[in-house]
């Protein structure tokens, strides 16, 4: 698609370029951008109603537009050239439209099919900027990204002007703001019971945020989301994560290109991709209880278009060999063949899908990435001893996994090379990799790791997933980046040591509950730990039944972070029964969107999750409701989502007991649930009558 008036259509989405106006439509949202002397400027955003009418969200006069939705500030370039050229550049820093093309794309199978529209500009003959927009069918918003190809220049010092990747002019009625960010270093924060999420109404707050919300506090709003690897507590590094800014009280800006000025000013033959941005628009749906419910759903729907769930690979229960060790040596030894063979038999009996072999299979160091036949411990806290590891390579583990109809996963450090990733995939048949120890402090490091993983997954015909963690404060993948490759490992949760990572049920539940507010929880691994094996001085996990501890993780991507062979018969029976019921409805559960209900977990509350089947007009879904151990109420009213705050008759089925009951909600869509004792839960399906 060049400069003509062609219209491309993909399902109900369309893209048109006519009279210097680019019109992007998902079928739910339309965005119009005008070519200006600075780039592209959004002058209209509208919500498309079911009757095809359009509700205006942003509406500017297209004939009187200046500026752009994105900018690589001229200061970058004017400081780098001769004085005579600086003056001409300062006065003539204009964008010349070079080309515009649209194609149907799926990012080499890493996302769902969409329109990929690429617009190229040349800025004062000094550099070329590429603007790429992804338009998904039925999406609640748009993804945009700029890339820069620079000239051969040099800078004497770093320049820090305002540069941004997306911007939108707000209606005057949008005067209610909320910034939301997420913390890394999860295990250490939770050791002192701090929150995993950060929220503020102060748009000028200096803390980093992953997303910003602007609405009219009634029935209409929009969000900007940073698709980058930053967290609230990421230390200062050479990556420019940027802030959200409000300029002249109406221009909402997503600052932060990732690259520094000196990075963009260097001569490079390829375009350097900056961080992407999401613009999501929403209105209060009649089924929603409030505007924020509609916002959360809009964000999750877009997130699922961007980070698609492939049930064949993404729907699984995984167990990892590391988490039962009380010392580093013990956890390393747990990865030996003898132990893994026992775990495969144990996990297959319980209904677990994947055995992941953690650190130790490669020996003590992190330079060799082939199996070792033996290791000798360091004699730190235990007598020196030689352990057999993998005398025959992956042969025996691979054969038993196949016999038991289980899949395999593997741990590796960030140092592993692409050839070794593929070698172990071929030899061991591993489908799931956890990449650890990443320290991604610069854009080249971040892009190098991403490219290594993309190349590996592509070479493996998309039969593998790579999971990332946010357990350290040092910059890693974050919450909104890299999830097309796999899930997020949320936190180490161990039974005894170190104290900072000891498993505490209500804190693990609180993490999952808070993640589920704005993110799709099934893209995050939430820990199950052995309650009877947990430090009784640090945790009350031993006072909970093992099926309760397992149920905490069922709305996520469940992670058994311990050796299941250590369960006693009572634990095994309880977990086996729960997983059987869960796997019977799991496929339906993955079609739903999960939301937090009840009160925030504090070990004293009624708390839970509601999985809503949006495609079935909100009529069906699932509930997990927990009565925490110290709660004193046998009954509790809980407000359910997406019924428009009105009375409604529900039919419930207790998935564990097989019994059923009906109940009518009150005018606030609250229903009273009964759980006999603290430390028990309900696992229900529901249908509106």
Question: Tens of pLDDT along 125-153?
Answer: 678 899 999 999 999 999 999 999 876 55
pLDDT of residue 74: 55
Does residue 299 share a domain with residue 248?
yes
Asked if residue 263 is part of any domain, the answer here is yes
Residues 336 and 236 in one domain: no
CA distance 408 to 391: 18
SS3 144: strand
**Contacts with 683 (C-beta within 8 Å, 6 or more apart), sequence order:** 551, 554, 578, 581, 582, 622, 623, 624, 654, 655, 656
Helix/strand/coil for 316: coil
CATH number at 398 reads 3.20.20.70
Q: To which residue do tokens 């009219």 refer?
A: 216
Q: How far apart are CA 553 and CA 524, in angstroms?
A: 10
Residue 419 lies in a domain: yes
Same domain, 358 and 242: no
pLDDT at 591: 98
Q: Which of 559, 594, 629 is the last residue in one of the domains?
A: 594
pLDDT of residue 168: 97
Q: What is the pLDDT of residue 264?
A: 79
Interstrand relation of 524-528 and 680-688 (parallel, antiparallel or unpaired): unpaired
Whether residues 72 and 181 fall in one domain = yes
The CATH number of residue 269's host domain is 2.70.98
Extract the tokens encoding 253.
């800006």
For residues 321 and 405, membership in a common domain is answered with: yes
**Residues 316, 297 share a domain:** no
Tell whether 264 and 364 lie within a shared domain: no
Phi, psi angles (nearest 5°) of residue 279: -115, 115
Strand arrangement, sheet containing 164-169: 164-169, 251-255, 244-247
How far separated are the first and last CA of the chain, in Å rounded? 49
- Domain residues for 117? 7-306
Q: Single out the residue in 558, 574, 594 at which a domain terminates.
A: 594
Rounded-to-integer distance, Cα 476 and Cα 468, Å: 8
Q: What are the C-alpha distances in Å from 267 to residues 81, 126, 226, 262, 264?
A: 13, 11, 27, 10, 8
- Determine if residue 532 is left, alpha or beta; phi over 0 gives left, psi from -120 to 50 gives alpha, anything else beta: alpha
Residues 13 and 138 in one domain: yes
Whole-number pLDDT of residue 415: 95
Count of structural domains within the chain: 3
pLDDT < 50 positions in the chain: 1-5, 77-81, 85-86, 88-91, 154-160
pLDDT value at residue 81: 46
Distance of alpha carbon 487 from its chain centroid, rounded?
7
Residue 2 domain-assigned (yes or no): no
667: domain CATH number is: 2.60.40
Residue 539 in domain: yes
Q: How far apart are the C-alpha atoms of 237 and 293, rounded to whole Å?
A: 35
Using DSSP, how many helices (H) and how many strands (E) does the chain show? 14, 37
Are residues 338 and 256 part of one domain? no
Q: Are residues 186 and 262 in the same domain?
A: yes
Helix (H), strand (E) at residue 436: strand 430-436
Q: What does the block give as tokens for 255?
A: 């600052």
Residues 32 and 110 grouped into a single domain = yes
CB under 8 Å to 224, separation ≥6 — which residues? 166, 168, 211, 212, 244, 252, 254, 277, 278, 279
Asked if 284 and 398 sit in the same domain, the reply is no
Q: Please name the residue that has the structure tokens 């430390």.
A: 679
Residue 601 covered by a domain: no
Whether 599 maps to a domain, the answer reads no
User: Alpha helices of 153-192 — where are they, by DSSP H?
Assistant: 186-191
Mapped to the 3 state alphabet, what secondary structure does 477-546 carry? CCCCCCCCCCCEECCCCECCCCHHHECCHHHHHHHHHHHHHHCCHHHEEEEECCHHHCCCCCCCHHHCCH
Three-class DSSP category at 306: helix
The residue count for the chain: 689
Does 664 map to a domain?
yes
Contact indicator for 274, 241 with CB cutoff of 8 Å: no
Select from 279, 306, 333 the last residue of a domain.
306
310 conformational bin, left if phi > 0, alpha if psi -120 to 50, beta if neither: beta
With respect to residue 45, please indicate whether it lies within any of the assigned structural domains. Answer: yes
Taking the C-alpha atoms of 191, 197, 203 and 209 in order, what is their torsion angle to the nearest 10 degrees? Answer: 90
């Amino acid at each position: 698609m060049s400069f003509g008036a062609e219209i491309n259509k993909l399902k109900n989405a369309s893209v048109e370029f006519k009279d210097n106006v680019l019109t992007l439509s998902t079928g739910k949202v339309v965005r119009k951008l005008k070519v200006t002397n600075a780039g592209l400027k959004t002058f209209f955003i509208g919500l498309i109603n079911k009757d095809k009418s359009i509700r205006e969200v942003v509406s500017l006069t297209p004939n009187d537009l200046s500026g752009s939705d994105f900018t690589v500030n001229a200061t970058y370039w004017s400081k780098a050239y001769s004085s005579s050229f600086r003056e001409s550049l300062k006065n003539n820093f204009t964008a010349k439209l070079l080309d515009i093309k649209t194609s149907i794309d799926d990012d080499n199978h890493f996302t769902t099919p969409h329109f990929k529209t690429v617009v190229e500009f040349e800025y004062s003959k000094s550099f070329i900027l590429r603007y790429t927009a992804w338009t998904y069918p039925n999406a609640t918003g748009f993804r945009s990204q700029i890339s820069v190809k620079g000239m051969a220049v040099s800078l004497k010092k770093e320049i820090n002007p305002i540069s941004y990747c997306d911007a939108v002019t707000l209606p005057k009625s949008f005067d209610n703001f909320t910034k939301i960010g997420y913390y890394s270093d999860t295990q250490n924060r939770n050791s002192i019971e701090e929150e995993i999420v950060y929220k503020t109404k102060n748009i000028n707050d200096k803390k980093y945020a992953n997303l910003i919300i602007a609405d009219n506090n009634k029935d209409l709003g929009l969000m900007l989301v940073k698709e980058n690897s930053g967290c609230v507590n990421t230390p200062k590094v050479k990556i420019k994560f940027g802030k959200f800014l409000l300029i002249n009280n109406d221009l909402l800006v997503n600052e932060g290109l990732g690259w520094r000025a000196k990075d963009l000013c260097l001569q490079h033959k390829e375009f350097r991709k900056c961080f992407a941005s999401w613009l999501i628009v929403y209105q209060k749906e009649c089924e929603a209880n409030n505007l924020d419910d509609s916002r959360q759903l809009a964000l999750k729907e877009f997130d699922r278009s961007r980070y698609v769930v492939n049930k064949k690979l993404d729907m699984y229960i995984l167990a990892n060999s590391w988490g039962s060790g009380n010392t580093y040596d013990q956890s390393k030894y747990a990865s030996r063949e003898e132990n893994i063979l026992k775990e495969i038999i144990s996990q297959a009996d319980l209904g677990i899908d994947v055995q992941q072999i953690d650190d130790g299979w490669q020996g003590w160091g992190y330079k060799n990435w082939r199996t070792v036949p033996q290791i000798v411990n360091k004699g730190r806290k235990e007598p020196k001893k030689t352990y057999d590891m993998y005398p025959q390579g992956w042969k025996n583990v691979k054969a038993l996994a196949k016999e038991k109809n289980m899949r395999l996963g593997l741990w590796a450090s960030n140092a592993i090379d692409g050839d070794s990733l593929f070698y172990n995939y071929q030899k061991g048949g591993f489908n799931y990799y956890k990449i650890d120890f990443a320290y991604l402090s610069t854009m080249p490091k971040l892009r190098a790791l991403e490219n290594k993983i993309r190349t590996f997954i592509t070479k493996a015909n998309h039969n593998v997933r790579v999971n990332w963690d946010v357990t350290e404060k040092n910059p890693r993948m974050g919450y909104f980046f890299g999830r097309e490759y796999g899930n997020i490992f949320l936190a180490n949760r161990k039974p005894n040591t170190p104290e900072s990572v000891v498993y505490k049920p209500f804190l693990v539940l609180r993490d999952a509950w808070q993640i589920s507010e704005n993110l799709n929880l099934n893209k995050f691994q939430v820990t199950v730990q052995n309650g009877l094996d947990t430090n009784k001085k640090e945790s009350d996990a031993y006072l909970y039944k093992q099926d309760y501890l397992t149920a905490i993780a069922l709305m996520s991507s469940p992670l058994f972070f311990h050796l299941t062979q250590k369960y006693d018969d009572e634990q095994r029976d309880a977990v086996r029964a729960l997983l059987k019921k869960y796997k019977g409805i799991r496929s339906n559960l993955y079609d739903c969107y999960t939301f937090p209900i009840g009160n925030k977990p504090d070990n004293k509350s009624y708390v839970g999750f509601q999985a809503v089947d949006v495609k079935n007009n909100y009529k069906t879904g699932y509930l997990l409701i927990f009565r925490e151990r110290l709660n004193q109420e046998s009954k509790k009213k809980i407000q359910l989502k997406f019924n428009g705050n009105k009375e409604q008759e529900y039919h419930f089925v207790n998935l564990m007991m097989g019994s059923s009951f009906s109940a009518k909600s009150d005018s606030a869509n609250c229903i009273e649930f009964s759980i006999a004792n603290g430390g028990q839960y309900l696992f229900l399906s529901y249908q509106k009558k």
